[in-house]
Amino acid sequence: MTNTGPAHITPMVSVIIPTFNRAGIIKRALDSVAAQNFKDFEVIVVDDGSTNDAAVVEKYSGLMRIRLIRHPQNRGAAVARNTGIAAAAGRFIALLDSDDSWHPDKLACQVAALQGAAPNVRACATGYILHKGNRELTICPQPSPDRFKIEILFGCTISPGSTLLIDRPVFDQTGLFDENLSRLEDWDWLLRFAEAYEIMFVPKPLATVYASTWEEHSFANEADPVLQSIRRMTVKHLPQFRARGGLRLRQFRSTLFLESAARMYRKRQPLRAFGYVLASLWVYPFRNVAFYSTLWHSAVSLVRK
């Protein structure tokens, strides 16, 4: 572990940046943190077994209070975030993926919002600009707390890896990120968070998120880490929803089927993808117009290929 910057001052915010072989782009993330108008923070970069990221990180020791923690081998995003959280000294935890960036007033807006929030509001997310291929989309969700508890059943669309600021003691109640999930760890954590706490949204695009493409190897089903994560989500969360019954159970099951459909789509297995989509709609067909529009465009895209 490399420590740089003063260690005797307790910061308001601990910024956690996990990284794995991002030497070519992590500078963008670090520059955006250094440019924050709010300055009462520390940065903890968790190098998750990279070959060359550490050299880039150490160049920032003169610009801000920064620590580098190195894993000897790659252990995944959930483990890297948990390592950073465990080492954090700040009252708030801010997450930033190493390929994304923040706008200069991001932390200032969120800290002010959370400090003035109701007692049970223990996290804050912002809008963001999504770069996906040649497209740029501005996404600014702002559901009410009650509405968020419903929307989270349909998956994780708020890009928490780069938009979320969390009150540090929350992790004592909800636990850390599930280290057995190689995918969907954000969704899993937010489902647990929503059981006990409320989240607020700053309806401005204060982060820029660059959609990454998960490599499309032809995994055998039993070895596919995405499908393994879906199965673990099913085992972890379905019993509690089944015990309650009703609409929430159907919504959650529908989303699990859609996650499986998306994986089959990316693996170029259209018939299996179509089967999962049908199962999802059979369980819960009451999706919005945007969902059906996306489904149509995905189907057309697959046919054209």
- What tokens were used for 83? 């390592």
Percentage with pLDDT > 90 across the chain: 67
Inform me whether the pLDDT recorded for 270 exceeds 80: yes
**140 in helix, strand or coil?**
coil
Rounded CA separation 219/216 (Å): 8
Give the CA distances from residue 286 to residues 235, 247, 262, 273, in Å, rounded to whole numbers and listed in that order.
25, 11, 19, 19
Q: What is the pLDDT of residue 58?
A: 87
Q: Are 199 and 245 in contact (CB under 8 A)?
A: no
Give the CA distances from residue 72 to residues 47, 56, 88, 302, in Å, rounded to whole numbers and listed in that order.
9, 17, 20, 40
**157 in helix, strand or coil?**
coil
- Could you tell me which residue, 4 or 209, shows the higher pLDDT? 209
Q: DSSP E strands: which ranges in 140-243?
A: 165-167, 198-210
Q: Are 182 and 122 in contact (CB under 8 A)?
A: no
Rounded CA separation 51/189 (Å): 29
Rounded CA separation 154/266 (Å): 19
Rounded CA separation 152/248 (Å): 10
Q: 234-238 contacts: CB < 8 A, separation 24 or more?
A: 236/178, 236/188, 237/188, 237/191
The residue behind tokens 């049908």 is: 278
pLDDT band, residue 275 (cuts 50/70/90)? very high
Q: At what angle do helices 246-266 and 270-283 cross, to 10 degrees?
A: 170
- State the chain's mean pLDDT as an integer: 88
pLDDT band, residue 5 (cuts 50/70/90)? very low
pLDDT band, residue 301 (cuts 50/70/90)? low
Strands 198-210 and 121-132: parallel
Q: Any idea what DSSP says for residue 194?
A: H
- Could you tell me which residue, 291 or 261, shows the higher pLDDT? 261
Taking the model in full, what pTM does it have?
0.89
Strands 66-71 and 41-48: parallel
